[in-house]
């Protein structure tokens, strides 16, 4: 497994972040690190994503910064130019996945079926995003996928919360979970970064406890 993915696996959680104002990026990055969560997936659901990634990379060298919700080649190119260290896509667009691989960049494309898992295997990928996790069968589906694809690891995202994080992380084929409950949009907009740091700390402790069992 790639060292960046291994680092994500050691943490167990990837905060999925929506930043509408890049002016909030630095404060958010500080909150993540204070909460013991040195990774960020900045989604391209806003026009501020690329600039936010640039700020996070510049201000926090110890923060592993990724680009999420990449659905177009223009976004993929912007993510690379901004300095993203990994990319996450909601679906499996072969052209986009191959673009990131050609850049030597870690990419975690979204899948929710055996056919899509095999598309990933064909390109040499062994870590895939399982999305939307809960709507696609959740833990039951991941258990089913483990039989034929025991060497593949998944990053469930979509419906993962503090209440079910432990159950997901207990699965042998889950490397980490993506979620936004610790970095809620309303908290970012309101500048409540101390609360975000606390929520991150609680999420990290929950993930650690889940892995210890």
**Alpha carbons 12 and 27: distance in angstroms, whole number:** 22
Catalytic residue among 41, 51, 134, 153: 41
Catalytic residue among 18, 51, 129, 134: 129
Q: What angle do CA 182, 196, 32 make, to 5 degrees?
A: 90
Query: Which ranges constitute the DSSP H helices of 17-88?
Result: 25-34, 49-59, 73-82
**Alpha carbons 155 and 166: distance in angstroms, whole number:** 13
Nearest partner of 96 among 68, 138, 115, judged by Cα = 68
Active site residue 129: yes
Active site residue 41: yes
Answer for the pair 29, 200: CB distance below 8 angstroms, yes or no.
no
**Alpha carbons 84 and 44: distance in angstroms, whole number:** 12
Catalytic positions, written as ranges: 41, 129
């Amino acid at each position: 497994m790639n060292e960046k993915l291994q680092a994500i696996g050691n943490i167990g959680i990837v905060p999925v972040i929506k930043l509408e104002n890049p002016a909030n990026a630095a404060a958010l990055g500080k909150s993540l690190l204070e909460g013991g969560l040195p990774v960020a997936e900045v989604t391209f659901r806003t026009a501020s994503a690329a600039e936010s990634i640039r700020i996070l990379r510049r201000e926090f060298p110890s923060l592993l910064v990724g680009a999420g919700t990449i659905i177009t080649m223009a976004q993929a190119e912007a993510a690379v130019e901004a300095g993203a260290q990994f990319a996450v896509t909601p679906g499996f667009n072969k052209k986009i996945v191959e673009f990131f691989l050609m850049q030597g960049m870690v990419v975690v494309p979204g899948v929710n079926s055996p056919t899509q898992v095999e598309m990933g295997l064909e390109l040499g990928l062994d870590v895939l995003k399982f999305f939307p996790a809960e709507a696609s069968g959740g833990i039951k589906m991941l258990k089913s996928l483990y039989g034929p694809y025991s060497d593949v690891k998944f990053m469930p995202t979509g419906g993962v919360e503090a209440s079910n994080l432990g159950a997901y992380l207990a699965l042998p084929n889950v490397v980490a979970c993506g979620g936004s409950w610790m970095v809620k949009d309303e908290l970012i907009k309101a500048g409540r970064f101390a609360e975000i740091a606390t929520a991150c700390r609680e999420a990290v402790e929950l993930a650690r406890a889940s892995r210890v069992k």
